[in-house]
Amino acid sequence: MDWQLSDDVQPSARVPAHLLLDPTPVPVTGAWRPGDDPGERLFARLGDLTTEHGATIPSTVVAYETWGTLNEARDNAILVNHALTGDSHVVGAAGPGHATSGWWAGVVGAGLPLDTDRWFVVAPNMLGGCQGSSGPATIGPDGRELGSRFPRVTIRDQVEAQRRLADHLGIDRWHAVVGGSMGGMHVLEWAVTHPERLGKAAVLAAPPISSADQIALNGLQLEAVQSDPHWLGGEYYDQPDGQGPHKGLALARRMAMVNYRSPDELNRRFGRGWQSSVDPDHGGRYQVESYLDVHGNRFTRRFDAGSYVRLVLAMSSHDLGRGRGGVEAALSRITAETLVVGIDSDRLFPVADQQRIAAGLSTSVSGDAPVVLSSEFGHDGFLIETDAVGALLRELVG
């Protein structure tokens, strides 16, 4: 690497406002302190990080949010890991006059399954992400986004960044580490790499290894982004008029959304309905196409294409058994009491994946089979079925 990050990293004034995904300058705050505002985004500078592939990320920054209070014994902390395009914003402000927001707002909070009156909940933005942690959109000392200079990272690299965050916060052992989808991959890596540092684990809708089928879906999405003429090898940030690989990124999201939802749900919701007054056979659109367009377009307004490519590559690299004698040998190293949850309509990470995890564990809370939730929402069920997911998590954390 021929670049170094300085301590006063600032967003570039040259970047068109609508491409500036995260306009917050990156002041490197100190560690969390009792009394800090819940849900306030903090940043930890975690030193140079050498990736599994031997590249160095200088002055790695991880953005994170916390809720609740770390007790004196420092043994009430729960790590929550987000999925591919999530962030540290698990839950926002709640109360009179405040809407509750965040991707697991029904799960984390006072009196909720991960009860913040009792637990100290920590949620980092993953390494390579675009919501505050080091990633391709990070501004380098030359005032330009790192773009392709940001190296490939793996699930293990992302967990290493989180391990450093735990050290930074003075948390030797998590009461529990939980996460869904790609976040579940992080949970598994935590449980295998640092078995002594967590008591309990929850793996939701995640596989122990990315299969050919999953890599194929990822590869198509990567191609969609990288074949956009505005991708420019990942150096697209300074194009005139805010141009960028928006079409490619939106197409990738549309492809992904199909796998996040189930055929039954899409068929029930949309059938063969038209979105327009014009018959699709004569140029109009089907409702389901419109739905995917909305999600694809919306996504380009909140996510960086370079980050997306790095994170999808990280997901494809996932193999719990790499260098450990295979998946089953790796699973046998897990000592955390583990909840494994699958969703019966998940076509992205099907229940067979969670069956393999549960069967390989000696510490699964449901024996050698996973808990299977019945939901028509497919993979996204872990985000939507918060009552069922929350009840399972409440029981796990005790």
Ligand X SMILES: CC(=O)SCCNC(=O)CCNC(=O)[C@H](O)C(C)(C)COP(=O)(O)OP(=O)(O)OC[C@H]1O[C@@H](n2cnc3c(N)ncnc32)[C@H](O)[C@@H]1OP(=O)(O)O
If binding is defined by CB under 6 A, does position 290 make contact with ligand X?
Answer: yes
Sheet holding 198-204, edge to edge: 42-45, 61-67, 120-124, 77-81, 174-180, 198-204, 337-343, 371-373
Measured from the CB atom, the residue of 380 and 385 that comes closer to ligand HSE is: 380
Only one of the segments 6-14, 78-86, 224-232, 267-275 lies at the binding site for ligand HSE (rule: CB under 6 A); that segment is 78-86
Containing 199, the helix (H) or strand (E) segment is strand 198-204
Distance, in Å, from the CA atom of 335 to the CA atom of 191, rounded to the nearest integer, reads 7
If binding is defined by CB under 6 A, does position 103 make contact with ligand X?
Answer: yes
- Tokens 């420019």 correspond to 232
The pair of three-digit structure tokens given for residue 312, joined into one six-digit string = 């999808």
Residue 261: CB minimum distance to ligand HSE, A: 9
Distance, in Å, from the CA atom of 30 to the CA atom of 44, rounded to the nearest integer, reads 7
Bridge partners (DSSP) listed for residue 67: 121
The pair of three-digit structure tokens given for residue 93, joined into one six-digit string = 């402000």
| Site size toward ligand X, by CB under 6 A | 14
Measured from the CB atom, the residue of 85 and 386 that comes closer to ligand HSE is: 85
- List binders of ligand HSE among 372-391 (CB under 6 A): 380, 383
Distance, in Å, from the CA atom of 386 to the CA atom of 240, rounded to the nearest integer, reads 43
If binding is defined by CB under 6 A, does position 88 make contact with ligand HSE?
Answer: no
Measured from the CB atom, the residue of 84 and 107 that comes closer to ligand HSE is: 84
Bridge partners (DSSP) listed for residue 174: 198
If binding is defined by CB under 6 A, does position 287 make contact with ligand X?
Answer: yes
φ/ψ (deg, to 5) at 67: -140, 145
379: annotated active-site residue: yes
Residue 54: burial class (beta carbons within 10 Å; 0-12, 13-18, 19+):
exposed
If binding is defined by CB under 6 A, does position 260 make contact with ligand HSE?
Answer: yes
If binding is defined by CB under 6 A, does position 157 make contact with ligand HSE?
Answer: no
Cα R_g (the chain), whole angstroms: 21
Whose CA is closest to 171, among 77, 42, 63?
Answer: 77
Q: How far is residue 47 CA from its own chain's centroid?
A: 22
Which amino acid, one-letter code, is at 328? Answer: E
To the question of whether residue 380 is assigned a binding role by annotation, the answer is yes
Measured from the CB atom, the residue of 11 and 136 that comes closer to ligand HSE is: 136
What do you get for the CA distance between the two ends of the chain, in Å? 46
The pair of three-digit structure tokens given for residue 181, joined into one six-digit string = 């989808």
If binding is defined by CB under 6 A, does position 221 make contact with ligand HSE?
Answer: no
Residue choice 55, 94, 258, 294 for contact with ligand X (CB under 6 A): 294
To the question of whether residue 172 is assigned a binding role by annotation, the answer is no
Only one of the segments 69-77, 131-139, 286-294, 317-325 lies at the binding site for ligand X (rule: CB under 6 A); that segment is 286-294
Question: Which listed option, ligand X, ligand HSE, none, makes contact with residue 290 (CB within 5 to 8 Å by class)?
Answer: ligand X
- Polymer length in residues for the chain: 398
Residue 261: burial class (beta carbons within 10 Å; 0-12, 13-18, 19+):
buried
- List binders of ligand X among 345-384 (CB under 6 A): 380, 383-384
Measured from the CB atom, the residue of 86 and 136 that comes closer to ligand X is: 86
The pair of three-digit structure tokens given for residue 59, joined into one six-digit string = 């002055």
Measured from the CB atom, the residue of 9 and 257 that comes closer to ligand HSE is: 257
Going residue by residue from 309 to 348, which x/- string records binding to ligand HSE, judged by CB under 6 A?
Answer: ----------------------------------------
If binding is defined by CB under 6 A, does position 86 make contact with ligand HSE?
Answer: yes
181: annotated active-site residue: yes
Contacts of 180 (CB under 8 A, 6+ apart): 81, 83, 204, 205, 206, 382, 383, 389
If binding is defined by CB under 6 A, does position 85 make contact with ligand HSE?
Answer: yes
276: annotated active-site residue: no
Q: Which residues bind ligand X (CB under 6 A)?
A: 82-83, 85-86, 103, 275, 287, 290-291, 294-295, 380, 383-384
Residues contributing to the annotated binding site: 253, 380
* Residues in contact with ligand HSE by the rule CB under 6 A: 83-86, 181, 260, 380, 383
Binding positions for substrate: 253, 380
- The catalytic residues are 181, 346, 379
